Amino acid sequence: MKKLFRLIVLLSIINCQLSISSAYADEGMWLPAQIEGRVKDMRKKGFKLKAADLYSAEKPSLSDAIVLFGGGCTGAIVSPEGLLLTNHHCGYGQIQKHSSVEHDYLTNGFWAANRTQELPNPGLEVRIMIRMENVTEAVAAGRRDETIAAAEQGGRYKADIKPLYYGNEQWMWVYEVFTDVRLVAAPPSSIGKFGGDTDNWVWPRHTGDFSVFRIYASADGSNRPAAYSPDNVPYRPSKFFTIATDGTKEGDFTFVYGFPGTTREYVTGDAVDYIVERSNPMKIALRTLRLDIIKEASEADRATRIAYAARQAGIANSWKKWQGESWGLERRGTVARKRAEEAEFARWAASRPEYAHLLDSLAAGYDRWDDVLYLNELYNETFRAMEFTDSEIDRRTNAALLRGFVEWWPTSVARTPEIIPHVIDSLGGYEGAARHPKALEVLRTEVWSALEIPRVGSFAAIPDIVRHYTPYMRALREYQPDRLFYPDANLTLRIAYGAVSGYRYEDAVWHEPVTTIDGVMAKDNPEIYDYDIPAKLRELYTAKEYGRWTTVVDGRRTVPVCFIASNHTSGGNSGSPILNARGELLGLNFDRTWPGTMSDLEFDPAICRNISVDIRYVMFTIEKVGGAGWLIDEMTFNN
């Protein structure tokens, strides 16, 4: 019996190790400066370029055609005159600001007929990376500020130093920052946001998620950034992307080049357990309250829909992402998997005094701070989400959130602050309190004070935990010397590679990797805003007037719309160029499959897929729907 037990344990360990190594297939967000070490593997999978074609501090490379858009998305430069493609949802805030009932660009789209009609966007900036550099030794020597100042050259550039591998390395990124960025074109939301919240994070997808901007530089011919002026001229990039018109098929090599936001691949099972069991359920429930109220009001009034469109999209995006994340993590058994791996690590570390107690220290830290983080998140999702206006929608939302704060108060903490029931009673219950925005605003401050806890945004900001991850990360790299550890994402430029690939969604359900305009028409429904496509698109489909942007599927001529691939992406990768083996633009990344959102914590090669809009659908929409062929004339195509 003991022998059988030992055999079962051994097999589980072997299975765990095999799972770890197999996950390396397409996992990883690699630094461009370190991509030389991955090129051999990339070439085996079909890559045709050299490392210097991807990134070089000395000569033009593909990294020069990529921008950090608006501080949270990515964009791709596609012409020698600064034309920029990103996602519709990345430019959504700018499109909304230019929209009104009279000029409803959200519903009808916006297509500049020439450059004089391109619209300025105060406050919007894009960053182009000049170089990146390992400055670990300089930071350790106390020269952080000196290093940044030298790189910025008196304000010519902007430099950031960020830790990688939980502080075991320090890297600097140097950027050129452009602030004159103009809206050039955007499809109607019924194309750019087709499917709305219903289709968000799911596959199959039929969304033309793109918008077009242009970067402008100083009028003096220096090609340098300048504040907005009507005299400014289009930026001249040292590199821009060639458009691929030959499309994709199952198995084709692809890579995504962009700015992924945040991943936590190396956290312990305790962190994942908190997310699945405590954090996500609470946040999902509270955001559901807000979305239901906004949806009801938006369906009843067009002006309300326009006014609340961006807020609704922002609330819904994470709301649905968290649902898919929890689903994927539970499906994968990530908590149990991590704890099994940690048990093996603990056996290795037991004979190494500097590492022997790391896991115990991390576990104690999570126990100590679990309720603190939960209360921070509860406060953020309720009181900090309140809007103190006289709007009926905001009043109803505030009442729901006030009630939600009390209902989701953790049982592990004694009681809610006494001020809450006192104020609620004095103002006539939840609804009564919500009708007194000034009182609620005061209550928000008072509640935070009464909580008497530190402000933390995540476990990653809690010193008791973070200080143990630095040696833990160092120990993991010693424990698995043959494993290539990529650094967690932190909104810095990365390369992730994989292949066009379908996946098994559930038992007996296989998802093909490509969708077409036929699927758009199958979903078309004039009775539902998110599925009511423009009449022009229906006319083009009926006449099969597709131009050069066609493909053949099952013997019929059609237009490709979206495709999925096994590239490791995250928030921030929205708008990232997805490229073929020759570095040509296949499309724009805009989403992940729903269970694949777990990839911020663990990458599952069987189900984690990124979703991109096919560049041919982008071109088709620009030319045929928008009538903006002059933009296509600026671009370069591979055939």
Tokens of 255: 């890579």
Neighbours of 480 (CB within 10 A): 16
What's the pLDDT band for 140 if we cut at 50, 70, 90? very high
What's the pLDDT band for 142 if we cut at 50, 70, 90? very high
38 CB-side CA count, 13 A: 28
Q: CA-CA distances (angstroms) from residue 566 to 470, 595, 599, 611?
A: 30, 13, 11, 9
100 in catalytic set? no
Tokens of 12: 């589980």
Q: Which of 450, 477, 504 is the last residue of a domain?
A: 477
The predicted pLDDT at position 23 comes to 35
**Alpha-carbon distance 596 to 198, whole Å?**
17
Percent residues over pLDDT 70 in the chain: 96
Tell me, yes or no, whether 227 and 284 share the same domain: no
Judge whether 137 lies within some domain: no
Judge whether 530 lies within some domain: yes
Angular region, 40: left φ>0, alpha ψ -120 to 50, beta rest: alpha
247 CB-near residues (< 8 Å, 6+ apart) = 551, 560, 586, 614, 616
CB 567 within 8 A of CB 596: no
Average pLDDT on 285-292 reads: 96
Nearest CA-CA partner of 74 in 483, 600, 489: 489
Average pLDDT on 347-364 reads: 97
209 in catalytic set? yes
What is the enclosing helix (H) or strand (E) of 8?
A: helix 2-22
Judge whether 165 lies within some domain: no
**Alpha-carbon distance 493 to 131, whole Å?**
10
- List the catalytic residue out of 574, 576, 599, 612: 574
The predicted pLDDT at position 430 comes to 81
Tell me, yes or no, whether 442 and 518 share the same domain: no
Tokens of 483: 């494993």
Whole-structure pTM value: 0.89
Nearest CA-CA partner of 182 in 127, 124, 237, 223: 124
The predicted pLDDT at position 21 comes to 35
209 CB-near residues (< 8 Å, 6+ apart) = 87, 88, 89, 192, 193, 588, 590, 591, 613
**Alpha-carbon distance 570 to 597, whole Å?**
8
Q: Which of 435, 450, 477 is the last residue of a domain?
A: 477
CB 371 within 8 A of CB 412: yes
pLDDT tens-digit readout, 485-513: 999 999 999 999 999 999 998 888 899 99
**With 80 as the cut, is the pLDDT of residue 282 above it?**
yes
Segments forming the whole domain that contains residue 31: 1-125+179-261+495-639
Ranges 67-71, 371-375, 453-457: which has the least confidence: 453-457
What is the enclosing helix (H) or strand (E) of 93?
A: helix 92-97
Average pLDDT on 299-326 reads: 89
Tokens of 304: 């309300």
136 CB-near residues (< 8 Å, 6+ apart) = 169, 170, 171
Tell me, yes or no, whether 530 and 611 share the same domain: yes
Tell me, yes or no, whether 499 and 464 share the same domain: no
The predicted pLDDT at position 16 comes to 39
What's the pLDDT band for 435 if we cut at 50, 70, 90? confident
- List the catalytic residue out of 53, 63, 89, 370: 89
Tokens of 561: 């719309």
Tell me, yes or no, whether 447 and 576 share the same domain: no
Nearest CA-CA partner of 53 in 69, 67, 42: 42
Q: What percent of the residues of the chain are helix, what percent strand, and what percent coil, each to the nearest 5?
A: 45, 20, 35
Judge whether 485 lies within some domain: no
Please tell me the total count of domains within the chain. Answer: 2
Nearest CA-CA partner of 417 in 449, 395, 381: 449
Neighbours of 426 (CB within 10 A): 11
Judge whether 361 lies within some domain: yes
Judge whether 537 lies within some domain: yes
Q: Where do the DSSP E strands lie in 165-202?
A: 169-178, 181-186
511 in catalytic set? no
What's the pLDDT band for 138 if we cut at 50, 70, 90? very high
Judge whether 26 lies within some domain: yes
What's the pLDDT band for 121 if we cut at 50, 70, 90? very high
Ranges 144-158, 183-197, 414-428: which has the least confidence: 414-428
Tell me, yes or no, whether 233 and 285 share the same domain: no
Tell me, yes or no, whether 7 and 46 share the same domain: yes
Ranges 91-95, 134-138, 199-203: which has the least confidence: 199-203
Nearest CA-CA partner of 523 in 106, 104, 211, 190: 190
Tell me, yes or no, whether 248 and 273 share the same domain: no
Tell me, yes or no, whether 254 and 312 share the same domain: no
Q: Which of 442, 477, 512 is the last residue of a domain?
A: 477
- List the catalytic residue out of 26, 180, 209, 394: 209
Q: What are the helix (H) ranges across 382-534?
A: 392-407, 419-426, 429-434, 437-451, 463-479, 517-523
**Alpha-carbon distance 35 to 61, whole Å?**
13
Tell me, yes or no, whether 328 and 290 share the same domain: yes
CB 195 within 8 A of CB 68: no
CB 294 within 8 A of CB 312: yes
Handedness of CA 57, 63, 65, 71 (dihedral sign): negative
**CATH code, 115:** 2.40.10.120
What is the chain's alpha carbon radius of gyration, rounded to the nearest angstrom?
25
Q: What is the DSSP letter of 458?
A: S
DSSP 605-633: TTT--EEEEEHHHHHHIIIIIS--HHHHT
Tell me, yes or no, whether 220 and 366 share the same domain: no
Q: CA-CA distances (angstroms) from residue 236 to 64, 224, 225, 259, 454?
A: 11, 9, 11, 22, 47
Q: At what angle do helices 463-479 and 358-381 cross, to 10 degrees?
A: 130
Average pLDDT, rounded, for the chain: 92
Name the one residue in this structure whose structure tokens are 């006014």. 307
Nearest CA-CA partner of 583 in 254, 258, 129, 252: 254
Tell me, yes or no, whether 471 and 384 share the same domain: yes
Judge whether 157 lies within some domain: no
324 CB-side CA count, 13 A: 26
Q: Higher confidence at residue 486 or residue 464?
A: 486
The predicted pLDDT at position 281 comes to 98
Nearest CA-CA partner of 67 in 572, 569, 487: 572
